[in-house]
Structure 1
Amino acid sequence: MNDFQQALTELQEKFGNKDNLIGIATIALETSESGQPMPDTRFVDAYYQDGAFYTTTYATTKKMQQLAANPNVALCYVVESFTATGYGENLGWTKDPQNAEIADRLRQVFAEWYQDANNDEDPNTCILKITLQQGLWNFPHEGKQTVIDFVTKTVTHQG
C-alpha cells in the first residue's frame, strides 16, 4: 500500500461510518469595508467517504448561496488536528434517485437527529458534498505534519 492509499485508509478509520462535527469556511457574498473577501464559518455534521465529506442542508441557506458563487471551502476537525481545503457541490434533493445511496447512508449515520432536522419531502433539502483537494494532519506536539494532496494522489511527511 502506498502512502496515499494509507492516508485514505486512515481518513476512513477516523471519519468514516460516523457523524463528525466539522467546521467549514466559505467565502461570504459581502466584502469587508476595504473590499476584501470575508470568510464565513459554521459547524456541520458530516460523514466522510472516499475523499469527500457529505452533509444534508437546505438549498437556500447562506452557505449554499456562497458555495454557488464560490465553491472553495476550508474545513477543520479539531479533535484529530485535521484541516483541509476543497470545493463544495450541491448534489441536489435528498430524494433525487441519483442521490439514493448517499442519502440512505446519511440517514443511517445521522439517525439520532436526522428526522428532526430534515424534511426529505421538501425539494430544497439537499446534499452538500465537499470534495477534498488538500488535507493536513498536524501533530504540533510532535513537530510533525502529513500533507495529503488529493489531486495528485501524493503524501508528504514533514518534521
Structure 2
Amino acid sequence: MSNYEEGLKLIEEKFGNGKDNVISLATIAREPGVNGIPRPTVRSVDAYYEDGTFYVITNGKSNKMKQIAQNPEISVSGCLEMFTANGVGENLGWVLDPSNAEIRSKLRTSFSEWYDMANNEKNENCCILAIHLSKGTLNINHWEKLYHIDFVNKTDMENGGIF
C-alpha cells in the first residue's frame, strides 16, 4: 500500500464512516485587516467526511458563505486529530434541492442528534457547503509519521503538505 493510500485509509478511519466531526474552517475575510492585508477568519463547524470532501450544513447568508463566494480558498483542521488541509469551498445550494438528496440523507443520519433542532430546511438559505480538499497533512502520533496528501492528483507529496 502506498503512503497516499495508507494516508487516505487513516483519514477515512478518523473522519469517515458517517461520523459527525468538529473541524476548524478558515476563510478569508471580505474586509482587509488594519494593515490592508487580507486576514483569516476561523470557526468550528460540524462536518461529514466522504471521498476527500467535508460537508457542512449552514446558512447561505452566513459570513462564511459570503466569504467563500468572494474567495473559495479555505483551510481546515481536525480539532481532535492532527490533520490540516487546504481546499475549495462550494455552495451546493438549498438542502431540499433534488440534486442534494443523496448527501442530505447522509448528513441527516450523521447529524441526527441535533439536525432538526439546528436547521430549518424550509428556509431556502439552509444550504450545504462542500469543502473539496486539495492538499493536506495527517500527523500521526506527534510527528511519528506524516502523510502529505495531494487529493487532486491522488498522490502523496514527499516534501510538502500543510503544517
* TM-score > 0.5, shorter chain as reference: yes
Q: Letter of the 2:95 partner, please give it.
A: T
1:109 is aligned to: 110
1:144–1:157: 8 Å Cα contact kept in structure 2?
no
Cα distance in 2 for residues equivalent to 1:139 and 1:7: 10
1:46 is aligned to: 47
1:86 is aligned to: 87
Structure 1 residue 7: Cα displacement? 2.3
Q: Letter of the 2:116 partner, please give it.
A: Q
1:150 is aligned to: 151
Cα distance in 1 for residues equivalent to 2:140 and 2:157: 14
Are positions 1:11 and 2:11 aligned together?
yes
Q: Secondary structure at the match of 1:79?
A: coil
Structure 1 residue 33: Cα displacement? 1.4
Instruction: With the length of structure 2 as denominator, give the TM-score of the two structures.
Output: 0.91
2:126 is aligned to: 125
1:66 is aligned to: 67
User: Aligned Cα RMSD in Å?
Assistant: 1.5
Structure 1 residue 91: Cα displacement? 0.1
Are positions 1:35 and 2:48 aligned together?
no
Structure 1 stretches of 5 or more lacking a match? none
Are positions 1:25 and 2:26 aligned together?
yes
Q: How many correspondences in the alignment?
A: 158
Structure 1 residue 34: Cα displacement? 1.3
Cα distance in 1 for residues equivalent to 2:143 and 2:107: 35
Structure 2 stretches of 5 or more lacking a match? none
The percentage of counterpart residues that share the same residue type is 49
Structure 1 residue 88: Cα displacement? 0.3
Higher strand share: 1
Give the direction of change, closer, same or farther, for the CA distance of 1:142–1:85 in structure 2 (3 Å limit). Answer: closer
